[in-house]
Amino acid sequence: MLYQDTVESEVLVHKPWFVASIFTVVLAVLLTFNLTGTTVGELMRPVIGDPLQSGFYGRFAIAFAMAVVFCLNLALIGFAPLRVQIGVVWFELLLLFLAFFKSFDLSLPFIWKNLPFMITQGVVTTIYVSAISLMFASLIAIVAAIAKLSSNGFTYGIASFYTSFFRGLPLLMQIYLIYLGLPQLGVIINAVPAGVLALSLCVGAYMTEIFRSGIQSIDRGQWEASRSLGFGFGLTMRRIILPQALPVIIPPAGNMFIGMLKDSSLVSVLGVWELTFLARQIGQPTFHNMEMLISASIIYWILSICFELIQTRIERYFARSKAR
């Protein structure tokens, strides 16, 4: 719901018809998988006997038991407060992911041995490339957004061509074009600056539309009133328009930064020692690819969570004027 409902009503997960519907759907989905050869099948051995010899009976019994556990879990969680529900769901899903990763028979000593280097070198480089790219992308986006809102055909044409071109090409293609194409013009550029430039131009094109829509969300009367008071263009944008547009701009812009954090892995094709590059370089010689790739994935996830929390705080700060 968009807002907390003030009308008390029965919890949906406590309604028999809803639980029965969920049970039927979960049972049907689980029956499509043969889980007799898994850990769950071994746990059900006292009921179904040898899992591999149990046939359809064992398959159905496992699916039925898992559907019952799922529905009971769903109904019991509904009695808890909202924050507790969220925490329990996160904890259970995390356990499932850990159980899934455990099935790969990972070498934990190898992970712990190389994790410090991946953090001190890979994470630092990833954040550095992403942060610098975000700064340049924001500057490009502001200029291009103002140009697209201009009545000048020349500036609008340049801005619209820029956004169309860089949103129309894959980011990996842009990285190659900049790193390999600029030397053809006599401009020699290293791997890190090339990656930063490609990320800045690509993300800047997307953020241009975010800034443009945010500025356009402000009523035109705000602009006309500030101009009638004698405010110049720069002062109007800085003191009147942008402060009101930021609450609209920040959520999608924050999402773009989190996306950029992951897209920065593409600069690994240039040999930049960021997280993905190190995961491949460390894992391949010793055939521990899965250990390093899973470690890098978890680090990316943790970084994304941290930036999500920062984004939430920034959104709350700029939304103070709308608080009732």
Burial class of residue 27 in the structure, from the number of CB atoms within 10 Å of its CB (0-12 exposed, 13-18 middle, 19+ buried): middle
Q: What is the DSSP letter of 122?
A: I
Residues 6 or more apart whose CB falls under 8 angstroms from that of 214 comprise 245, 246, 248, 249
* Residue 237 clears pLDDT 90, i.e. is over it: no
Question: pLDDT of 76-124, one tens digit each?
Answer: 888 888 888 888 888 988 888 887 777 777 788 888 888 888 888 888 8
Residue 113 dihedral angles phi and psi, to the nearest 5°: -70, -40
pTM of the model: 0.79
What SS3 state is found at 36? coil
Residue 190 dihedral angles phi and psi, to the nearest 5°: -75, 175
Distance CA(154)–CA(133), nearest Å, equals 27
Question: pLDDT of 278-301, one tens digit each?
Answer: 888 888 888 888 888 888 888 999
The two three-digit tokens of residue 17, written as one number: 């018809």
Question: pLDDT of 20-61, one tens digit each?
Answer: 899 999 999 988 888 888 778 888 888 888 888 888 888 889
